[in-house]
């Protein structure tokens, strides 16, 4: 792993533990095993590290979870929809980078409007918009009953976001939470899908 990658990895861990203001460049450098001036060879400062982390996390989320701009292939069956949803949830609950960033953002969302917007995007609006498009496309293909796709997307994603948040706070319940999420997704499909 390059020094630059180690800097971002350690910075994210410290930001998630201590918050942005509670983490210094010196602490990051110490965790990496370098002197603070050496860190400036890779980043202009703490804000530059944070911006790099946000960009990296957004790209990772886009690649492995998706977004309203990148919904991926529309599922062609109930089981495919369920499996895709469960894979996305598993990624968001278990990916170390996403988990640390979510913990950091949840902590910082009340101090910084930018962080509040990113948190809302990933815990509510962005996920809802992505699933609105998926459900709408599947509705057009006759796989979902005719209904309001935005309301259905909200009904699907809001409880999942709450469970993911609980998993972050109480990781000892992660397996039980994953089971509840799968039951919820299956129930949702039983109620609203045609096939």
β-strand partners of 193: 144
CATH number of 66-195, picked from 3.40.50.850, 3.40.1190.10, 1.10.10.10, 1.10.357.10:
1.10.357.10
| Encoded tokens for 127 | 């996920």
pLDDT for 158: 95
Spell out the domain ranges in the chain: 1-64, 66-195
Under 8 Å between Cβ of 106 and 99: no
β-strand partners of 144: 193
Residue 43 in this model has a pLDDT that exceeds 80: yes
Q: 1-64 domain in CATH 3.40.50.1000?
A: no
pLDDT for 155: 97
Report, as an integer, the average pLDDT of 20-49: 94
């Amino acid at each position: 792993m390059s020094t630059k990658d180690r800097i971002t990895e350690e910075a994210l861990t410290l930001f998630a533990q201590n918050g942005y203001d509670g983490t210094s460049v010196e602490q990051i450098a110490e965790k990496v095993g370098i002197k603070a001036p050496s860190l400036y060879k890779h980043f202009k400062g703490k804000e530059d590290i944070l911006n790099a982390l946000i960009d990296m996390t957004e790209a990772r989320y886009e690649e492995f979870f998706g977004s309203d701009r990148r919904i991926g292939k529309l599922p062609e069956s109930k089981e495919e929809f369920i499996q895709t949803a469960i894979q996305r949830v598993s990624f968001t609950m278990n990916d170390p980078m996403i988990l640390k960033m979510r913990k950091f953002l949840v902590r910082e969302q009340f101090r910084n409007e930018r962080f509040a917007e990113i948190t809302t995007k990933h815990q509510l609006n962005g996920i809802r918009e992505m699933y609105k498009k998926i459900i709408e496309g599947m509705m057009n293909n006759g796989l979902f009953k005719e209904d309001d796709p935005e309301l259905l997307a909200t009904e699907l994603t809001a409880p999942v976001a709450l469970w993911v948040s609980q998993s972050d706070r109480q990781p000892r319940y992660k397996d039980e939470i994953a089971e509840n999420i799968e039951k919820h997704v299956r129930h949702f499909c039983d109620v609203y899908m045609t096939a």
